[in-house]
Structure 1
Amino acid sequence: MEAPLLTKSSGEIPLIGDGGDYVAAGGLRTWWRIFCLESAKLWAIGGPIAFQILCQYAAGSVGIVFVGHLGDVELSAFTIATMVIGTFAFGFMLGMGSALETLCGQAFGAGQVHMLGVYMQRSMIILLSFCIALSPVYIFATPLLKLLGQQEEVANVAGELTILIIPHLFSLAVAFPTQKFLQAQSKVNVLAYISVLALILEAFLCWLFIYILGFGTIGAAIAIDVTSWTLAGLQFLYVVRSCKDGWKGFSWDAFKDIWGFLRLSLESAVMLCLEIWYMMSIIILTGNLDNAVTAVGALSICTNIDGWETMVFVGVNAAISVRVSNELGMQHPRAAKYSVYVTIFQSLLIGILCMIVVLATRNHFAIIFTSSEEMIRAVSHLSPLLGITMVLNSLQLVISGVAIGSGWQALAAYINLGCYYVFGLPLGYILGYVAHFGVLGIWGGMIAGAALQTFMLLLVIYKTNWNKEVEQTTERMKKWGGEVIADGTKNFEDGVI
């Protein structure tokens, strides 16, 4: 890595030392230079990823927009099918795939590009196996939803839809590993292009199936399946045809050490699932309130808006994971540390801006999703909690990215379990049902759990010894079959570092 910008003639000390790591920062001018440099690196990776994720999320939101104008029952059922059952599986699959993010990022930083294809194949094998294991949740969704207290009319429609979106579940076993493979190498522009095509396809299919052919909610489910497999197939085709350094073809090595890989995958899954399912549980609890159709519909609109901001920070999450894992793989502890601090600061500012926008438009943004005056008023009533949630999301997802890039999944899982499910979820139940605050109480109590989780993980980052993280990365590369180049010169080709 070359020292950026500054020469001795400028009278300024270079930011990069002989080993490729940052020199120790001192003074506001040096911090500002580091802030600008890290911001450029972060958004060079995170910008295309955020755009890609936004396009994918928009493809799902397109279905909600179309279905929302069919009726309140259809909106609630489609929301439960995609945001409860679908999110249950999505969170688990994303978490399992995030183990690949740790290993691929650190292997690429250490110059072991040839290992990325093997890791990707291992991840696909594991994810396909878990798709089979998760399928009964989709098949028996109707009785499960009734058992959880959902209204029979909504549960019946939602159960029919979940069976139809089973193909979408299996597409994730290809989509997530190929995404992580490309992200680790900072080959993110192609992901954005493919996602734009998927968004256009989703909108066209929803229009065709719902309005032209009259398939209703079934048409939206079919559109999701077709779009998701198109996206997964194009990503895999790009990997095979254009990533010759990382993809050497199918290999039996993918089955080696698969149980150890499975353990790291499960740790990643538990960490992210506890976080993703936390929001899903709000909808479950709300479904048992009086006037549940309006409550679930209003909450689904708020969570959908929150999801737009969340998808931006999923891009930031992936970018900081790549930055941290690559820098640790290259044995640059100070660069990893500074990238984390810069990203947290920027993300907090963006979260505050999003909260201001939501509060300023609280009486209007629900019109995108519904024509019901009662629903619009209910959404406006919830908007302050939505704004607070957006601020917390801006920090939570960045911290999760740091955990994935550093390999802290197990620690983060324990913190998430305690803060969310031991503290936040019971508090939400008490405020919602015992104190009779309804959906405001449920969401407010769960926000308290999220705030506690954010504080504890920020404390972990503050206490982190980044030199020890480099040592642990070296050991991890040896364990998973790579060799760390210890002289400070890595085989680093086209990544953004």
Structure 2
Amino acid sequence: MDNSTEERLLLLEDFDREDLKKRVWNESKKLWRIAFPGIIARVTSFGMIVVTQLFMGHISELDLAAFGLQQSILVRFVNGILIGMSSATETLCGQAYGAGHYHMMGVYLQRSWIIDGVTATILLPLFIFTTPILILIGQEENIAIEAGKISLWFIPILYYFVFSLTIQMYLQAQQKNKIVGWFSASSFLLHVLLSWLFVIKLGFGLAGAMSSFIISSWLLVIGEFVYIFGGWCPNTWKGFTKAAFADMLPLIKLSISSGVMICLELWYSSILVVLAGYMKNATIAISAFSICLNINGWEFMVCLGFLGSSCVRISNELGMGNAKAAKFSIKVALGTSIIIGIIFWVLCMVFSREISYMFTSSEEIAESVSRLHVLLAFSMLLNSIYPVLTGVAVGAGVQSMVAYVNLGSYYAIGLPIGILLGYVAHLQVTGLWIGLLSGVVVQTLVLSYLTWKIDWNEQVNKASERLGRFFIETTKGSDESSNLS
């Protein structure tokens, strides 16, 4: 029996001996150690989009509607693909870290850069031909033209996503995401400062808002590169290697299933924004709906912190072969996230109208946002449940199962309900949001049932098989021969 096996057996024995209070306390500490920096990183990263929209709203109503359409449809579409593709990195790095295969984490990171980089390049025409695409699907011409101008500014952001998403998952898996939190918070504060300077003080308008976004985003990525290449990840980063190009097909398959899982979720709300564009007074409808989605999305970023932490905890424990600890971590993560969801539910019910004025000075848009506040509050409450369950799926590597759940709950149930209520029952944006909420309720119930039915001992065996399939033996000689640097 080797030392690593003995260490794992000791950890399993320690877990069984601990009383419940101590177990909850220890798991909560591990959870928050991962979740808090992850929340900071995700909230501030998404916050840069929200801050940009805030400043767009004070440029003109047309810019606000165009940015809302662009961000809610195209950016969410592309971001969904890249987040999904990157979650394969989260699964593999988390399980490799738990199993002690540290050198493989750098290889997985490089493979994800290759796969995501190629994917981003394939998606590039969407940003170049945004205006004709939006006109083709029936959006108002003046909004589509303005969205096309904004779209070209998003091209550098597209490649920023490739690196920022994968690096965050790589660092998070080895519980070094505190540095990501610091970098993200600094980038967010810089973005607020630059946006105020470029838009308000210097009057650069659209160019000023988007330049601020690009500069702040890429400074974040450069800081992460310095951290990784500068020697702060000595066990997991061994330099650029030819091994990153080997065995790509299994990783591509896992990335695609991950991508489909996330995309079906994020595209759902994007389709509803498109439908809002066909309603009477489309500028008001799109603006109000995108504002609500961004408020909901910002709170969702907090919940994604728990998605990330539950993913890391599950994958680490599965990599170590501890099925009991994996199951217990789900309960602690879910309980903690629900408490936070209740707090946001209360805040939204009390301060809904005040929040809308942050995004716009238009009374008509603010009133439209205010009418949705009850539905928005319950969406925030559900946000505290299903992301954790999705994180469980990513940690266990069963993304394809969740993809089918998302397909059925969102597109077979939620979307038809939204269309019927919005257009047939003439409830307009309110009807669309009821449809959105219906799909989320069904998804949450099904994921809860499937999580309860998972055989975690079987998942331990599958994690071991997966890591064995991807494993590359490392020696000093092979490392040196495979390094490109």
Task: Settle same-fold status: TM greater than 0.5.
Answer: yes
Q: Which residue of 1 aligns with 2:467?
A: 477
Q: Does 1:182 align with 2:175?
A: no
TM-score normalized by the length of structure 1: 0.91
CA contact (8 A) 1:105 1:322 kept: yes
Q: Which residue of 1 aligns with 2:72?
A: 83
User: Number of residues paired by the alignment?
Assistant: 464
Q: Write the distance in 2 (CA, Å) between the matches of 1:330 and 1:99.
A: 19
> Alignment partner for residue 140 of structure 1, among 117, 120, 129?
129
Q: Which residue of 1 aligns with 2:234?
A: 244
Shift, 1:396, TM fit = 1.5
Question: Aligned AA for 1:280?
Answer: S
Q: Which residue of 1 aligns with 2:4?
A: none
Question: Aligned AA for 1:469?
Answer: Q
Q: Does 1:129 align with 2:122?
A: no
> Map of 1:254-403 to 2, 5 A cutoff?
254-403=244-393
* Matched residue SS, 1:244: coil
Q: Which residue of 2 aligns with 1:153?
A: 142
Question: Aligned AA for 2:165?
Answer: F
* Matched residue SS, 2:463: helix
Shift, 1:222, TM fit = 2.0
Q: Does 1:195 align with 2:184?
A: yes
* Matched residue SS, 2:16: coil
Question: Aligned AA for 1:174?
Answer: F
> Map of 1:91-102 to 2, 5 A cutoff?
91-102=80-91
Q: Write the distance in 1 (CA, Å) between the matches of 2:139 and 2:108.
A: 41
Q: Write the distance in 2 (CA, Å) between the matches of 1:377 and 1:58.
A: 23
Q: Deviations over 1:348-370 (max 9, x none)?
A: 22212211110111222111111
Shift, 1:301, TM fit = 1.6
Question: Aligned AA for 2:215?
Answer: V
Q: Write the distance in 1 (CA, Å) between the matches of 2:217 and 2:89.
A: 20
CA contact (8 A) 1:142 1:155 kept: yes
Shift, 1:419, TM fit = 0.8
CA contact (8 A) 1:313 1:394 kept: yes
Q: Write the distance in 2 (CA, Å) between the matches of 1:87 and 1:314.
A: 15
Q: Write the distance in 1 (CA, Å) between the matches of 2:296 and 2:88.
A: 26
* Matched residue SS, 1:76: helix
Specify every segment of 5 or more residues in structure 2 that has no aligned partner in the other structure, as ranges.
Answer: 1-8, 474-485
Stretch moving more, 443-452 or 200-209 = 200-209
Structure 1 segments of 4+ aligned residues over 6 angstroms from their partners: none
Shift, 1:482, TM fit = 5.6
CA contact (8 A) 2:352 2:370 kept: yes
> Alignment partner for residue 223 of structure 1, among 212, 228, 243?
212
Shift, 1:207, TM fit = 2.0
Q: Write the distance in 1 (CA, Å) between the matches of 2:398 and 2:17.
A: 25
Q: Percent identity?
A: 40
Q: Which residue of 2 aligns with 1:8?
A: none
Q: Write the distance in 1 (CA, Å) between the matches of 2:40 and 2:332.
A: 21
CA contact (8 A) 1:165 1:224 kept: no
Shift, 1:465, TM fit = 1.1
Shift, 1:392, TM fit = 1.3
CA contact (8 A) 1:415 1:453 kept: yes
CA contact (8 A) 1:428 1:443 kept: yes
Shift, 1:37, TM fit = 2.3
CA contact (8 A) 2:345 2:378 kept: yes
Specify every segment of 5 or more residues in structure 1 that has no aligned partner in the other structure, as ranges.
Answer: 1-15, 484-497
Question: Aligned AA for 2:237?
Answer: W
Q: Deviations over 1:245-292 (max 9, x none)?
A: 111111000000111111111111100111111122221111111011
> Map of 1:23-62 to 2, 5 A cutoff?
23=16, 30-62=19-51
CA contact (8 A) 1:428 1:445 kept: yes
CA contact (8 A) 1:114 1:247 kept: yes
CA contact (8 A) 2:72 2:270 kept: yes
Q: Does 1:441 align with 2:434?
A: no
Q: Which residue of 1 aligns with 2:58?
A: 69
CA contact (8 A) 2:317 2:326 kept: yes
> Alignment partner for residue 221 of structure 2, among 232, 238, 257?
232
Question: Aligned AA for 2:16?
Answer: V
CA contact (8 A) 1:21 1:334 kept: no
CA contact (8 A) 2:168 2:180 kept: yes
Shift, 1:19, TM fit = 2.9
* Matched residue SS, 1:370: coil
Q: Which residue of 2 aligns with 1:404?
A: 394
Q: Which residue of 2 aligns with 1:413?
A: 403
Q: Aligned in 2, Cα 1:21/1:361: closer, same or farther, shift over 3 Å?
A: same
* Matched residue SS, 1:149: coil
Q: Write the distance in 2 (CA, Å) between the matches of 1:21 and 1:124.
A: 38
Question: Aligned AA for 2:316?
Answer: N
Shift, 1:148, TM fit = 2.0
Q: Which residue of 2 aligns with 1:5?
A: none
Q: Aligned in 2, Cα 1:296/1:254: closer, same or farther, shift over 3 Å?
A: same
Q: Aligned in 2, Cα 1:18/1:214: closer, same or farther, shift over 3 Å?
A: closer
CA contact (8 A) 1:347 1:395 kept: yes
Q: Deviations over 1:78-113 (max 9, x none)?
A: 112223211111111111111000000000000000
Q: Which residue of 1 aligns with 2:420?
A: 430
* Matched residue SS, 1:363: helix
Q: Write the distance in 2 (CA, Å) between the matches of 1:19 and 1:381.
A: 52
Q: Write the distance in 2 (CA, Å) between the matches of 1:482 and 1:392.
A: 41
**Could you say what the CA RMSD is over the residues aligned between the two structures, in angstroms?**
1.6
TM-score normalized by the length of structure 2: 0.93
Q: Deviations over 1:102-156 (max 9, x none)?
A: 0000000000000000000000001110111000111111111112221111111
Q: Does 1:106 align with 2:95?
A: yes
CA contact (8 A) 2:68 2:291 kept: no
CA contact (8 A) 1:114 1:248 kept: yes
- Structure number having the greater helix percentage: 2
Shift, 1:472, TM fit = 0.6
CA contact (8 A) 2:90 2:312 kept: yes
